[in-house]
Amino acid sequence: MKIVPVVVGSTRRPKVNAVVEALTQVRTVFPEVPHFEVHAVEVPSGVAGTPLSREAMMSGARQRVEALIELGKAAHEPWQYFIGLEGGLEVVPIPNGRLVFLENWAYVADTSGRGSFGQSGAVLLPDALAKTVVDDGVELSDAIDAFAGGQDIRDAQGAWGVLTRNLVTRQEAFRVAVINAFSPFFNQVFYEASAPSSKD
């Protein structure tokens, strides 16, 4: 049985567990996919602790992968897939105000340099929590602890769990993002097909 080593750029339990769960599920629909061995290495994202835009989240996820690739080359690691995960906020202007959504992003690359993004979906932040993070500059991990009266919530259910009453947890959101990012790798028949030609 072929074992493929995969590395994720974080040692946070919800992130690592999300990758393990996502890859286990990928194998159920793509039986030709080998077994994965998941490694966890903490690397910097190069963005703020709580990114405040989709672009920053995507950049953070990708920069984690770039750091892993460089680390793997220097240490001669056998990693074949590299996964970067980043959560943060997307601030959407609307007439007379804004909406602030919590999102999670994944970026996956392989040794050939091919890469793909995946996203979790989004959940709306309450105005009071959004103000604390966006306007007052408090990290979401600290703000959600104060908001929900907990401690180290990001290593448990996360803000996702607090806001959805655990119908969707932080781990679950990252799991979805990882599956979405891996889809072009394991569903190649659709992603590599030529675009249909249009008739004049």
**Segment-wise mean pLDDT, segments of 10 residues, the chain, 200 residues:** 90 96 90 87 95 97 98 96 97 96 97 95 96 96 93 91 96 97 90 59
Q: How many CB atoms lie within 10 A of CB 176?
A: 19
β-pair type (3-8, 115-124): unpaired
Q: What is the Cβ-side half-sphere exposure of residue 84, based on CA atoms within 13 angstroms? A: 26
Which pTM does this prediction carry? 0.92
**Residue 196, pLDDT score:** 57
SS3 labels along 55-75 = HHHHHHHHHHHHHHHHHHHHH
**Residue 192, pLDDT score:** 79
**Residue 188, pLDDT score:** 84
What is the rounded CA–CA span in Å between residue 173 and residue 85? 11
**Residue 190, pLDDT score:** 87
Instruction: Tell me the two tokens of residue 196.
Output: 């249909």
**Residue 89, pLDDT score:** 97
Instruction: Tell me the two tokens of residue 122.
Output: 């989004």
Domains (range + CATH), the chain: 3-191 (3.90.950.10)
**Residue 123, pLDDT score:** 98
**Residue 199, pLDDT score:** 52
What is the rounded CA–CA span in Å between residue 35 and residue 22? 12
**Residue 28, pLDDT score:** 87
**Residue 194, pLDDT score:** 52
Q: For residue 43, which phi and psi values (nearest 5 degrees)?
A: -135, 155
